[in-house]
Amino acid sequence: MSSANQSATPDPGGTSPAANAAVLALHWQTNVVAPEGFFGAMLAEPVAASGVIGRAATFHRAARDAGATVVWTRFTVPEDEGRLVRNTAFMEAVAEHQDAFRPDGPGAAVIPEMAPDSDDWVQDNQRLSGLAGSDLPERLRAAGIDTLYITGVATNLTVEQTARHGTDLGFTVHVVSDCVAAATAEIHDASLGNLELATAGNVSADRALDLLTG
C-alpha cells in the first residue's frame, strides 16, 4: 500500500459532513500495541485490557462506510533516517533502535485487526505528531477536509500531539475518546482532560458517527 494513496479523495463540494472529514488512525502498529513490538512491554497489556482495538476497528469501518477518509499514520525510520530529529529522549531511543522501525519491517505494519482498506491513505513519518514532517496537512486541505477524528495509541503521546497540532493548523479536531488508550488509566484520563479544552472536544465513537452522518 502506498504512503501516498489518495484514491479515496472526497469531493470538496460534498454535502455530507463525512465528505469533509478524515479519521486519523494513529500508530495502530505492531511496534506500539502488540506484545512483540518495540513498545509492547509498556503498552500491549493495557491496550488489550481496554478493548480499544475492537472498538476502534469498528469505528474505522463505520466512518469509512459513512464516507469519511481514513488515514493511517505509521511511525517508521527509513535507512537514511528521513526527517528524524534526535531532540528528545523518546527520539533518541528510537534512533538507537531504528532497525525495528524500518518501513517494510514487521514492527511497522498496521496490526491485522486494523488492516487498511485499499482506498485508505497511509502516511509514514518520523515525528510524534501524525501531521508533522510530511505533506499530509496540505493533502487533507486539497481534499476539502476540515474536520479530523483521532484514534490511536498512546493518548498522551501521538494522540495528544497530533490533536494539538491539528488544532493549531486550523482543523476542527475531535479525539474519539473510547478509541484511544495509554499505559495507565490515569495518564489516559489526564490527557483527555487536556484535550477537552485544547481541541473542539472529545467525542465517543457513537457521537462521532452521529456527526459524520449528519
The gap from C-alpha 108 to its chain's centroid, in whole angstroms, comes to 14
What single DSSP character describes residue 115?
Answer: -
3-state helix, strand, coil in the chain (%, to 5): 45, 20, 35
Q: How confident is the model at residue 142 (pLDDT cuts 50, 70, 90)?
A: very high
What's the CA gap between 137 and 36, in Å, rounded? Answer: 32
How confident is residue 16, by pLDDT bands cut at 50, 70 and 90? Answer: confident
State the pLDDT at residue 111: 99
Parallel, antiparallel or unpaired: strands 21-26 and 147-153? parallel
Return the C-alpha cell found at 205.
465513537
Around Cβ 5, how many Cβ atoms within 10 Å?
Answer: 18
Grid coordinates belonging to 140: 487533507
* pTM beyond 0.85: yes
Work out the average pLDDT over 165-182.
Answer: 99
pLDDT tens profile 113-136 = 999 999 999 999 999 999 999 999
DSSP 214: -
All cell numbers assigned to 161:
500531539
Among positive and negative, which fits the CA dihedral 143, 149, 154, 160? positive
Contact 64, 71 (CB under 8 A): no
Per-residue pLDDT for 42 more than 50?
Answer: yes
- What are the extents of the domains in the chain? 17-213
Domain 17-213 bears CATH identifier 3.40.50.850: yes
What's at 117, amino acid-wise? D
